[in-house]
Amino acid sequence: MVALPFYSLDEKIAKPYGYQYIEKPSTLGEFIRNRRIELGLFQKDIALQFGVSEDSITYWENNRSIPQIKFYPKIIKFLEFNPFEVDIKTIGGKIKNYRYLNGLSHKQMGKLLSVDASTVRAWEFGKNRPKQLKLVMLEIS
């Protein structure tokens, strides 16, 4: 169809994402799927980027499993936001956020701070408060 010479159509319309796109994602897997679809990538592309199997991505997206914490930094970078609900107003929340951003388990975090993994877990739940020296080591105050 030929447009009229005095009418210029410069508007671009985005292609719909498809039936797999979830309008209001609520799980980590749904966030990953939506971002992958937005970027026009395949599961194998994401798997290569994260260093996991394509099946892992499928399981994550279908909420059949959750990623190990060591993949959290790559996931946060891929999503361009932190999908994990962490209250960074509390010391425990700041510690948990630090662990997630750096992909550290409780045990790895404990080793970093020379404390037991259960101590880190207790700090995150607000049962104990770490000493100031430990907070300084993490640059948390």
Assign residue 128 the CATH number of its domain. 1.10.260.40
Two structure tokens written together for 70: 């060591």
**Domain housing 51:** 28-68
> What angle, 0 to 180 degrees and rounded to 10, lies between the N-to-C axes of helices 106-113 and 117-124?
100
Report, as an integer, the average pLDDT of 39-67: 96
* Residue closest to 103 by CA, chosen among 133, 77, 131, 70: 70
Does any domain span residue 77? no
pLDDT digits (tens, 9 = 90+) for 123-135: 999 888 887 767 7
Q: Terminal CA-to-CA distance of the chain, rounded, Å?
A: 65
Residue 6 inside a domain? The answer is: no
Residue partners of 92: CB distance under 8 A and separation at least 6:
123, 124, 125, 126
Look up residue 81 and give its two tokens.
């936001």
Inside any domain, residue 14: no
Contact between 117 and 124 (Cβ < 8 Å): no
Rounded percentage of the chain residues whose pLDDT exceeds 90: 63
